[in-house]
Amino acid sequence: MKNLLNLSDLSKDECLKIINSAIDRKINKKQSTEAKDKALAMIFEKSSTRTRISFELAIKQLGGLSIMLDKDHLHLGKRETLADTASTLSQYADIIMMRSNNHSTLENLAKHSSVPIINGLSDLSHPCQTLATLMTIMEVKGTLENINISWFGPISNVAHSLIDAVNMNLGINLSIYCPKYYQDIYFKKLKDMKKEISLDKVIIKEFELDKINPTDVVYTDTWFSMGDIEDSTKIEMLTKYTVNQDLMSKVNSDCMFMHCLPANRSQEVSSEVIDGSQSYVWQEAQNRLHVQKELLLNFL
């Protein structure tokens, strides 16, 4: 049995197959009942818009059904061990998707589950979002080969999954522009989690407006994760990493702007950019649905 806890759990061929199949199904509006009589259990420790709706519609449009489980209505790690919860859910559902506060929770769930586990988001990685990002780039650019992605801001779970994608040799190049303070936080997180990831093919450095590497995609994420307390000192540190029109004027006119959403228009991106002609965030959000269908079929 296979799980998707990180993008690196997929091979290059599997990743490309999911992306290409999602594009084909979207273009040709293919209908399917391949998941008929299959059940998806969704566990949410964090609130969600795109993850919940895309997975719920994906399994439904494939002929299956879903059940949403809020952490406040489960015994998850409280009156019942995670192992017992995993064993129980495995008797009811054919696949489990979890949006978790801690990546270790997903790992423990997968350890004790007899059905596949999909990471809908964790504090370490966000493989589903990254697949939708790659699908959108493929639709717009026609390829992933020699595509240069520039990331601005803290190294979030999405950025981590983009590093996974680079190491998969899909052809993309990644430059991460991030304050030294947040670089140190990321490396400490990896150390605390006892995780190793190759950074040989990734450029990580602080940002200077006049020294941006050639880029086809500008990408950012919220500066403060759900539940984090906004800090004025950190906001001041990150201000020059805001993706605004000044920054976009330094890149090619056909450069894409992407964001995993939700976006804080007063911080990491300006309204002018996210609502502008170079923005593909809504296409990217829609593609969560199409990628989720292929993921479910891949793991059912």
| Secondary structure element (H or E) that encloses residue 237, with its range | helix 232-238
Please tell me whether residues 37 and 93 are part of one structural domain. yes
Are 292 and 60 in contact by the 8 Å Cβ rule? The answer is no
**Domain that residue 179 falls in:** 127-284
Whole-prediction pTM value? 0.96
Please tell me whether residues 137 and 279 are part of one structural domain. yes
The alpha helices in 1-49, defined as continuous H runs, are 12-28
Total structural domains in the chain? 2
Percent of the chain with pLDDT over 70: 98
Q: Indicate whether 184 pLDDT > 90.
A: yes
- Residues assigned a catalytic role: 99, 126, 129, 221, 260, 288
Q: Indicate whether 80 pLDDT > 80.
A: yes
Q: For the chain, first and last CA: distance in Å?
A: 10
Residue 105 tokens read as 């929770």
pLDDT of residue 113: 96
pLDDT of residue 77: 59
Residue 262 tokens read as 């939700």
Please tell me whether residues 92 and 184 are part of one structural domain. no
Please tell me whether residues 23 and 63 are part of one structural domain. yes
Summarize the confidence of residues 60-89 as an average pLDDT. 84
* 110 domain-assigned: yes
* 2 domain-assigned: no
Summarize the confidence of residues 156-180 as an average pLDDT. 97
Please tell me whether residues 149 and 277 are part of one structural domain. yes
Please tell me whether residues 176 and 120 are part of one structural domain. no
Please tell me whether residues 79 and 133 are part of one structural domain. no
Mean pLDDT of the chain: 94
Please tell me whether residues 81 and 133 are part of one structural domain. no
Please tell me whether residues 77 and 140 are part of one structural domain. no
Q: What φ, ψ does residue 276 adopt, rounded to 5°?
A: -85, 180
CATH number where 87 lies: 3.40.50.1370
Summarize the confidence of residues 144-168 as an average pLDDT. 98
Summarize the confidence of residues 235-241 as an average pLDDT. 96
Residue-wise pLDDT for 191-226, tens only, equals 999 999 999 999 999 999 888 889 999 999 999 987
| Secondary structure element (H or E) that encloses residue 261, with its range | none
